[in-house]
Amino acid sequence: MLLQLIKQIQTENIKLPYTIHFLILNNEEIGYGGNSTITEETVEYLAVDMRATGDGQSTDEYTVAICAKDFNGPYHYGLRNHLVELAKKNDIGYQIDMYPQSGSDASAAIKAGHDIIHGLIGLGIDSSHAFERTHEDSSKNTLQLLYYYLLPDS
């Protein structure tokens, strides 16, 4: 999904007013994620990960999940509200949810002491770890939210 987003930005010749680092990692569940690669200039860290459906969750297989809180604590309130407003403005299906049994690279960065605005979004999926299932609408909604998040003045 991130590679598709990069391709879309290049194809549409979008000039972003800031530097973006795309990190593709697989260590968030053990607590260190991308912590060592965060530059001093980093202001915001938006993690993108799968968000499992389940009992007590509002996440579904059709929308993008915007995380309010995980087992490390709450995500940045202002960034979460910005993501919700982008979703509303651009007719993107979304759900706000909490994930008390998991974390993200963004929350691991906060835990490591980085002073950044942090957030988490992801595809709503059924199951995880090798047998993940989602609807293409969840992928489309997640990609659209990322796209509008990166656009200047969106």
Burial label for 72, CB within 10 Å (0-12, 13-18, 19+), is middle
Find the catalytic residue in 12, 28, 29, 44: 28
Q: Where are the beta strands (DSSP E) in 1-154?
A: 44-48, 51-52, 64-70, 73-74, 94-99, 117-125
Dig out the tokens for 102 from the structure.
């998991």
Query: Helices in the chain by DSSP H: which ranges?
Result: 2-11, 77-89, 105-111, 136-150
Q: Is 28 a catalytic residue?
A: yes
Supply the residues annotated as catalytic: 28
